[in-house]
Amino acid sequence: MGKEFFTLDDFFFDGKTVLVRVDINSPIDPETGSLKEITKIKRHGETLLELAEKGARVVALSHQGREGESDFVPLKQHAKTASELLGVNIGYVDDVCGDKAVSAIKRLKPSEILLLENVRFVSEETKVKSLKEQLKTNLVRNLSTVSDIFVNDAFPAAHRSHVSLIAFTEVMPSAAGRVMEAEVKALSSIMNDPERPCVYLLGGSKIDDSFRVAENALKTGIADKVLVTGLLAVAFVAARGVDVGEVNKRLIISKGASEYIEQTRKLMDAFGDKIKLPLDFALEINGERVEAEVGSLPHNAQIKDLGEQTISEFAGILRKAKTIVINGPAGVYEDDRFSKGTEVLLKAIAETQAFSLAGGGHTLEALEKFGVSSKISYVSTGGKAMLSLLAGEKLPAVEALKKAYLRAVSEGKGE
């Protein structure tokens, strides 16, 4: 795959004011108001520090939470946490694009970093939809006049068409930051030319996301095998006509599975040889783990994990894979009685020499719990953006960077 967008390697940053869209949106403890997780801040630190080391005046822009929700908070503590993590002072201003923010940006010296206020505090960030109107916003007009280069590093938000993600590329020289670059590179290597066999291990409780990923992987021929686990497996088994019991039926319906039943049947008819469904499940009965084969499931017990036969079969398939995509736990891994499927499969992957890519909040938590994060080739913080790309969808923020690159090349300003 040829070059599609500029990266930090393509610009001279010394003395330039660089507007960097990051995504340090983090879980907030509802009781204390403190940050519960700082992975994103660590990841974006690489881009921010590199720019500072190259002599740029760095202006960071991010969102946090959604309007009306408890995590819709200012970014002051994010700046403090980033300063401690990165070992440099990260300035903060409680303004996004008004006079206060503009003045703070103008005062920046080379190699200094400033974090602006939560960009979603400005309603036009999410409410102005057309690109033409986005270019007229105060956000774009005010910040572009005091910035020389735009860097988009916010891959986790790349599936959105918000102002700060797609409009600055129209008015400024633009590049991908290191997080954006690494995420797109890792995902593209799987989408375009995976080493085979390529195996997808899909699970979790978000049936719609996992189904779309499975469908695209099979229809495009990317996946040689799709191992179905978690609530997704319950939905697939039910679609085959197996009685999964009232408890599980209600559960998958509450997660929107009913709208995928017919599509699931068609997918299994077309790619049945590539889709591996569980042979058995583990259920909770009277507080105990009880295993049962798919054809003889108890009527009123909740499925909470894969059974031993399935775990063994799936682990064997994973050990022979050369490329592995992981999204979603195999069961209720938080409960030690039902963590076996998730633990054994993740550890089997960790022992292989395969290129492995993992993503999704619960997947990352499970990797940490079982101590195998460092054994995974690439751990994506992309969440919904990662799933959208794996489902074959275009990401607006990435497309905006590509468009900016092509425009610069055609004008003789690039390669």
Look-up: residue for tokens 């202006």?
Answer: 59
Give domain status of residue 184, yes or no: no
| Residue 305 three-state SS | strand
Same domain, 297 and 319: yes
Written as six digits, the tokens of 121 are 């505090």
Same domain, 159 and 42: yes
Q: What is the number of alpha carbons within 13 Å of residue 184 lying toward its C-beta?
A: 30
Same domain, 19 and 111: yes
Walk across the sheet containing 378-379 and list its strands: 275-276, 225-228, 198-202, 323-327, 355-359, 378-379
pLDDT at 277 over 60: yes
Same domain, 26 and 114: yes
Q: Which of 329, 200, 341 is nearest to 274 (CA)?
A: 200
* pLDDT given at position 10: 98
What residues are paired with 396 via a beta bridge? Answer: none
The pLDDT-based confidence of 411 (bands split at 50, 70, 90) is confident
Distance (Å, rounded) from C-alpha 287 to C-alpha 297?
Answer: 17
Same domain, 206 and 156: no
The pLDDT-based confidence of 256 (bands split at 50, 70, 90) is confident
Give domain status of residue 290, yes or no: yes
Look-up: residue for tokens 């070992």?
Answer: 87
Same domain, 225 and 351: yes
Q: Which residues, at least 6 apart from 112, have a Cβ–Cβ distance to it below 8 Å?
A: 52, 57, 58, 89, 91
Q: What's the rounded mean pLDDT across residues 277-294?
A: 97
Same domain, 151 and 116: yes
Look-up: residue for tokens 């919904």?
Answer: 384
- Taken in order 13, 19, 21, 22, the sign of the CA dihedral is positive
pLDDT tens-digit readout, 114-124 = 999 999 999 99
- What is the value of pTM for the model shown? 0.92
Give domain status of residue 148, yes or no: yes
pLDDT tens-digit readout, 87-104 = 999 999 999 999 999 999
Question: Is-contact 53 13, C-beta < 8 A?
Answer: no
Give domain status of residue 288, yes or no: yes
The pLDDT-based confidence of 1 (bands split at 50, 70, 90) is low
CATH of the domain at 375: 3.40.50.1260
pLDDT tens-digit readout, 355-380 = 999 998 889 999 999 999 999 999 99
pLDDT at 353 over 90: yes
Give domain status of residue 3, yes or no: no
Distance (Å, rounded) from C-alpha 310 to C-alpha 314?
Answer: 6
| Domain span holding position 155 | 8-179+394-410
pLDDT tens-digit readout, 236-245 = 999 999 999 9
End-to-end CA distance of the chain: 16
Look-up: residue for tokens 């003045």?
Answer: 103
Give domain status of residue 247, yes or no: yes
Same domain, 226 and 162: no
Same domain, 270 and 343: yes
Distance (Å, rounded) from C-alpha 408 to C-alpha 346?
Answer: 44
Written as six digits, the tokens of 323 are 């490329």
Same domain, 377 and 401: no
Q: What's the rounded mean pLDDT across residues 303-307?
A: 98
Distance (Å, rounded) from C-alpha 10 to C-alpha 173?
Answer: 10
At residue 25's C-alpha, the angle toward residues 23 and 29, to 5°, is 160
pLDDT at 345 over 80: yes
Strands 275-276 vs 149-152: parallel, antiparallel or unpaired: unpaired
* pLDDT given at position 196: 98
pLDDT at 414 over 70: no
Question: How does DSSP classify residue 296?
Answer: G
Q: What are the phi and psi torsion angles at 12 (to 5°)?
A: -100, 115
pLDDT tens-digit readout, 147-195 = 999 999 999 999 999 999 999 999 999 999 999 999 999 999 999 999 9
pLDDT at 413 over 80: no
For 303-318, b/e burial (b = at least 16 CB within 10 A) is bbbbbeebbebbbebb
Element (H, E) at 398: helix 396-410
How many domains is the chain built from?
2
pLDDT tens-digit readout, 49-90 = 999 999 999 999 999 999 999 999 999 999 999 999 999 999
Question: Is-contact 223 274, C-beta < 8 A?
Answer: yes
DSSP string, 151-213: EE--GGGTT---HHHHTGGGTS-EEE-HHHHHHHHHHHHHHH---SSEEEEE-SS-HHHHHHH
Distance (Å, rounded) from C-alpha 380 to C-alpha 210?
Answer: 16
Question: Is-contact 139 119, C-beta < 8 A?
Answer: yes
Same domain, 249 and 370: yes
pLDDT over 70, % of the chain:
99
Give domain status of residue 29, yes or no: yes
Same domain, 212 and 341: yes
Look-up: residue for tokens 């894979």?
Answer: 321
Distance (Å, rounded) from C-alpha 87 to C-alpha 149?
Answer: 25
Give domain status of residue 190, yes or no: no
Question: How does DSSP classify residue 101?
Answer: H
**Average pLDDT taken over every residue of the chain:** 96
